[in-house]
Amino acid sequence: MLDFLRLTRPVNLLIIALTMVAMRYGVIAGNLERGVQSLILALEGTVGRDQLVLPEGFGPQMPLLHFVLLVLSTVFIAAGGNVINDYFDTQIDRINKPDEVIVGRSVKRRVAITGHMVLSGIGLVLGVLVAWRSGLLHWALIPAFAIGALWTYSTTFKRRFMIGNGLVATLTALVPLTVGLYEIPLLKRAYALPELVQATNGELFQLVPAFDQLWVWILVYTAFAFLSTLVRELQKDMADVKGDEAEGCRTVPIVWGMGWARGLSLMYIALLVLGALIIRSTLLRDTLSFWYIGLGVMVPLLLSAGFTYSAQHRSEHVRAGILMKVAMVMAVCYAMLLRFTH
């Protein structure tokens, strides 16, 4: 049982759940709170935060149970995808990391394939249920697409030139985007008209939720997830080039060479650093953001770039990938600080 759990890559699943929680309580709730703070500043301090009586239920509109089910749906589907990926990668893993092979040794192949079907099936049912109960049934396409994409990635696209990398990056980007696709329409439905906020002294003020700003932040995280995952995929391809080549995979380091793979990785990291600098200078001007983004996000990105540039052995490419994952986690955690920034 423990070895099957290892197949699902629980650390990655925890990061997925953390990302979705950060989007709801950091980006969505945090930006709504920033809107309240902006109203207070516009009133030039005549009314304090504790004097405003906000509308009942002001904040994320998705019921907590539905949100938990949405997170579980995403986690179950990702877990099933991880299992099926290891199922089809057994031969490659025996070359790249022979001591870490699980499928066919401690976990039988039929157990792995059954586990994939059960996990994916539960994820699909939960995803469809949430879409239906939220009145957004068309988003049931998201879990269905994810399951199909993970299967075709493992069976076919992983071995195709660049398509597999792009597909994994797209699926990763869907994690923060999905929260916005549910929460923002529900917020617009709840606050179709500007809300009147009453102060304890009886005065009324107009509060207009900044939905455009919510989308900006959701899309910023979506783009960051996409680009950083492209880097991680290239780093993994460089680390696994020996086994991939033996199995006939057409990854970037095999088709174009390690130099091109390094160059693309460094270019994507440069775009991430540039994006972080632009966001820090345009959307955020507080000291907390300056130091957190500089030390918590950009330093791991630059270290990952350094290891990628100089890596000669598999362990060094793996280390570069770990640093990229650290940057991704730190970026996600920053969302929980948004309410304290300006």
> 47-63, pLDDT tens digit by residue?
555 555 556 667 788 99
What's the pLDDT at 38? Answer: 55
Task: Give how many domains the chain has, as a whole number.
Answer: 1
What's the pLDDT at 49? Answer: 54
What's the pLDDT at 35? Answer: 63
Percent of the chain past pLDDT 70, that is, above it, reads 87
Q: Tokens 């919510």 correspond to what residue?
A: 214
Task: Check whether 165 has a pLDDT greater than 70.
Answer: yes
CA distance linking residue 11 with residue 22, whole number of Å = 16
What's the pLDDT at 170? Answer: 97
| Highest-confidence segment of 87-96, 122-131, 152-161 | 122-131
Mean pLDDT for the chain overall? 88
- Report yes or no: 207 and 35 within 8 Å, Cβ to Cβ: yes
What's the pLDDT at 245? Answer: 86
CA distance linking residue 126 with residue 76, whole number of Å = 9
CA distances from 165 to 75, 134, 161, 327 (A): 20, 32, 8, 19
Higher model confidence: residue 42 or residue 8? 8
β pairing state of 204-207 and 52-53: unpaired
Q: How confident is the model at residue 188 (pLDDT cuts 50, 70, 90)?
A: confident
Task: Check whether 339 has a pLDDT greater than 90.
Answer: no
Q: Tokens 């959307």 correspond to what residue?
A: 283
Higher model confidence: residue 323 or residue 281? 323
Higher model confidence: residue 192 or residue 101? 101
Domain housing 142: 2-340
Per-residue pLDDT tens digits for 213-261: 889 999 999 999 999 999 999 999 999 898 888 888 899 999 999 999 9
What is the distance between the terminal CA atoms of the chain, rounded to a whole angstrom?
Answer: 47
What's the pLDDT at 56? Answer: 63
What's the pLDDT at 41? Answer: 46
The residue among 202, 204, 213 whose CA lies nearest residue 43 is 204
Amino acid letter for position 229: T
Task: Check whether 265 has a pLDDT greater than 70.
Answer: yes
What's the pLDDT at 57? Answer: 64
Per-residue pLDDT tens digits for 72-111: 999 999 999 999 998 888 888 788 887 778 887 888 899 9
Instruction: Name the least confident of 18-22, 213-217, 282-286.
Output: 282-286
What's the pLDDT at 249? Answer: 86
What's the distance, CA 117 to chain centroid?
23
Burial of 287 (0-12, 13-18, 19+ CB in 10 A): exposed
- Give me the sign of the Cα torsion angle 171, 176, 177, 183: positive
